[in-house]
Amino acid sequence: MNKRLFIQAALAVATAGAFSVHAQDAIKVGVTAGPHAQIMEHVKQVAEKDGLKIQIVEFSDYVQPNAALAAGDLQANSYQHGPYLDAQVKDRGYKLVKLANTVNFPIGLYSKKVKKLDELKTGAKFGIPNDPTNGGRVLLLLQDQGLIKLKPNAGLKATPLDVIENPKKLRFVELDAAQLPRSLDDLDASAINTNFAMSAGLNPKKDAIALERADGPYVNILVVRAGDEKQAWASKLVKAYQSPSTREFVEKQFQGSVLLGF
């Protein structure tokens, strides 16, 4: 009887070990709907050839993917740029870190009422994302376009309170980034992140009346919990994302609307 119990115990340990190895070869990756999800679908196919199975979990906003990752419901996410991650870590105490660069989505300015920014009337309602990093990003773009001037030390997290010159007296309407495409009818113009713009059927290269420069600090990144950077699955995920196959897919699929950041 003791011998039988010993054998059963040994089999149980071996089986648990097998499940542990299998668990390491299957991960959940959070993305936002649109280009991030499309790219990850391709990455999933590439990674599977290297023995890594990816389950893609789509989110409709910018807040939940980091909350889910921090809670252990995901192993990685792919939807945000470095400044946004830094702000989330500082504000919420997440122990999340950058794993690798992915792609860059130059943010665009859109309007159904004007064809050029200088056509905006005094007091025009202008939509901007309500999260600090993307809101500041838009204000910097408006400054580059000559519409406003910010305090010299405003930096990447500028807010409407940092605007010191506003000749057109633009009225800033702060909304969740995912809501901005649906609010175009009610606004004179709006800044829209490229992933949400494309999900709404907008083509940044054709429909935007102004686009952010591609050489800014807003390249998107793969993010994991601190300590997971050296996991075998993490290196496989980076390898699949930064593969020649994924590069070719992005260039062909998005025709310059999404830029490679690696």
Give just the sign of the alpha carbon dihedral 55, 60, 63, 64: negative
**Contact present, 106 and 220 (Cβ < 8 Å):** no
- pLDDT exceeds 60 at position 41: yes
Report DSSP letters for 65-112, one per residue: HHHHHHTTS-SEEEEEEHHHHHHHHHHH---EEEEEE-EE---EEE-S
**Contact present, 137 and 87 (Cβ < 8 Å):** no
What are the tokens at 82? 């470095």
pLDDT (average), residues 239-247: 98
Q: What is the per-residue pLDDT for 106?
A: 87
- C-alpha–C-alpha distance, residues 61 and 182, integer Å: 14
Q: CATH code at 80?
A: 3.40.190.10
Q: What is the band of 15 on the pLDDT scale with cuts at 50, 70, 90?
A: very low
- CA-based nearest residue to 141, from 80, 218, 197: 218
Whether 6 and 97 share a structural domain: yes
Residue ranges making up the domain that contains 190:
108-211
What are the tokens at 245? 């196959």
SS (H, E, C) 132-153: HHHHHHHHHHHHHCCCCEECCC
Question: Could you give the number of structural domains in the chain?
Answer: 2
Give the list of residues 6+ apart from residue 224 with CB closer than 8 angstroms, or none: 69, 75, 76, 96, 97, 99, 231, 234
Whether 187 and 235 share a structural domain: no
- C-alpha–C-alpha distance, residues 48 and 204, integer Å: 32
pTM for this prediction: 0.75
Whether 247 and 124 share a structural domain: no
Q: What is the per-residue pLDDT for 255?
A: 87
Whether 231 and 195 share a structural domain: no
Whether 112 and 75 share a structural domain: no
pLDDT digit string, tens, across residues 199-211: 899 999 899 999 9
Q: What is the per-residue pLDDT for 2?
A: 46
- Supply angle C-alpha 81, 85, 90, rounded to 5: 155
